Amino acid sequence: MEILNKSLSQLKAHIAEGEISCEAVTAAYLGQIKKLNDDLNAFITVNDNALERAHELDKKHKSGEDLGPLGGLPIAIKDLLCTRGIRTTAGSKILENFVPPYSSTVTSRLEEAGAIVLGKTNLDEFAMGSSTETSYFGVCKNPWDTQRVPGGSSGGSAAAVAARMTPAAIGTDTGGSIRQPSSFCGIVGVKPTYGRVSRYGITAFASSLDQAGPMTSNVKDSALILQYIAGRDSQDYTTASNEVPDWYANINPNVSGKTVGLLKEYFEEGAMSSDVRKAVENTIDVLKGLGVNFKEVSVPQIDTAVSTYYLIATSEASSNLARYDGVRFGYRSDFKEEPAKNIADFYARTRAEGFGEEVKRRILMGTFSLSSGYYDAYYDKACRVRALLKKQFNEALEGCDILLGPVTTGPAFKIGERIDDPIEMYNNDIFTTACNLVGAQA
């Protein structure tokens, strides 16, 4: 049976009916990883125990046991989420050899539901980037054109799904890191509402913005994954206690009568390339044909979203990344030849060698925004603009079911094209960052 082109839902049905074994499914994807990973660099680590776990699930299935709602389904995990016993690097030299002694809630929920972790996918270092070019483990390539980036920071997850190295993957999104690579690689990605999915065990970048979500080849498969990772977790007090509905069973293609808002600021002349504009207009036409009503709405302050986002995200990152000090885990400088002068020198040399260029740039920016004399003008002001954006988004959403807009200003760019220009790279995120600031799903 052809496996690699099946959707997650189809594989689920075939496994449940006993038409195909978990081992055959996992072996097929491991084979595809072996075939393509040297070229694409989508995976940093492959799980050596994946086949064994598949074999055990087959045994359970034969003895009549229920495999769970995701029984035997392979999934790739962004290497930012802790997986017990499987190296978790965050794409950084500072965590190159880190093997977590516990699992993130997302991965333990997936495994409890019967899923098989195939491996850990490449990402921008500490999820800081929009192209997967800042990874310590080398750039990941877009499977549709290997001269181009897959997007980022969940570029490995997006490339792996697009190249059928996995039927589904988990990504994280702090300012667009699920949506932008999903768009660049032509797959489906969902950034859940802030608080929907537990952040426990996910290497923190910016705690008030980070959310994990599914990346798959179609919408229904994303619903299936989200279903089993969402919900209250006592390990993360920012998770909402709202009930998790059965999205998978109740998915409904009938959108007739729904009202979709179009942010007029997003559609201004020159806001996006002609190709992207054409794709968005095509989508609008398709939806109109299905009976959707459109309405122009406005978030006047949206032009400040990228600046607000980067000030807040870097401030939180500078605080979150303070834990990497070379004492209890992670990389430590070699002090044998030149001993540390003092404790500050011990930390500063370890961190200077362990972090990459972009991570250091963001730590510096965040430290500056939080520093005495600049806090009010930058971090505090950004939090006030964030409140204003939330107010304006709530007003724009009144009378609309959802808002629709582009994800990126243009299609996937070439590797190396923007990496030396941080401002241009940050401005890539113009359509995605606002949703993280206001906590909305996207």
Whichever of 157 and 392 has its CB closer to other proteins, that residue is 392
- Binding mask 186-215 vs other proteins (x if CB under 8 A, - otherwise)? --------xx-----------xx-------
Q: Give the C-alpha separation, 162 to 184, whole Å.
A: 10
Helix 8-16 / helix 219-229 crossing angle, nearest 10 deg: 70
Of positions 26, 134, 166, 308, contacts other proteins by CB under 8 A: 308
Of positions 252, 269, 344, 398, contacts other proteins by CB under 8 A: 344
Of positions 7, 347, 402, 411, contacts other proteins by CB under 8 A: 347
Q: Give the C-alpha separation, 238 to 233, whole Å.
A: 9
Output the CA angle 356-153-247, nearest 5 degrees. Answer: 150
Output the CA angle 375-378-383, nearest 5 degrees. Answer: 100
- Residues between 254 and 273 with contacts to other proteins, criterion CB under 8 A: none
Residue from 193, 24, 232, 6 nearest 109 by CA? 232
How, if at all, do strands 211-216 and 188-189 pair? antiparallel
- Residue 131 gets which letter from DSSP? S
Q: Is 364 in the site for other proteins (CB under 8 A)?
A: yes
Segment contacting other proteins (CB under 8 A): 62-70, 155-163, 248-256, 434-442?
A: 434-442
Q: Is 159 in the site for other proteins (CB under 8 A)?
A: no
Q: Give the C-alpha separation, 107 to 355, whole Å.
A: 26
- Residue 428 gets which letter from DSSP? G
Q: Is 287 in the site for other proteins (CB under 8 A)?
A: no
The verdict on whether omega for the bond into residue 153 sits within 30 degrees of 0, i.e. cis, is yes
Q: Give the C-alpha separation, 118 to 393, whole Å.
A: 39
Q: Are 227 and 112 in contact (CB under 8 A)?
A: no
Output the CA angle 106-226-27, nearest 5 degrees. Answer: 70
The residue with tokens 């730590």 is 363
Q: Are 131 and 185 in contact (CB under 8 A)?
A: no
Q: Is 323 in the site for other proteins (CB under 8 A)?
A: no
- Residues between 73 and 102 with contacts to other proteins, criterion CB under 8 A: 97-99, 101
Segment contacting other proteins (CB under 8 A): 4-12, 112-120, 131-139, 303-311?
A: 303-311
We find the least distance from the C-beta atom of residue 241 to other proteins, in angstroms, to be 11
Can 371 be counted among the known catalytic residues?
no
Q: Looking at this protein, which amino acid is placed at residue 425?
A: M
Q: Are 109 and 143 in contact (CB under 8 A)?
A: no
**Given 108, 131, 153, 318, which residue is catalytic?**
153
Q: Is 242 in the site for other proteins (CB under 8 A)?
A: no
Whichever of 1 and 423 has its CB closer to other proteins, that residue is 423
**Given 92, 135, 177, 318, which residue is catalytic?**
177
- Binding mask 371-410 vs other proteins (x if CB under 8 A, - otherwise)? x-----xx-xxxxxxxxx-xx-------------------
Of positions 9, 298, 304, 409, contacts other proteins by CB under 8 A: 304
User: Tokens for 387?
Assistant: 């409140």
Q: Give the C-alpha separation, 311 to 231, whole Å.
A: 29
Segment contacting other proteins (CB under 8 A): 140-148, 170-178, 301-309, 409-417?
A: 301-309
Can 153 be counted among the known catalytic residues?
yes
# of chain residues touching other proteins (CB under 8 A):
71
Q: Is 388 exposed, middle or buried (0-12, 13-18, 19+ CB in 10 A)?
A: middle
Q: Is 338 in the site for other proteins (CB under 8 A)?
A: no
Whichever of 131 and 211 has its CB closer to other proteins, that residue is 211
**Given 78, 93, 120, 191, which residue is catalytic?**
78
Whichever of 11 and 178 has its CB closer to other proteins, that residue is 178
We find the least distance from the C-beta atom of residue 380 to other proteins, in angstroms, to be 6
Whichever of 340 and 397 has its CB closer to other proteins, that residue is 340
Residues annotated as part of the active site: 78, 153, 177
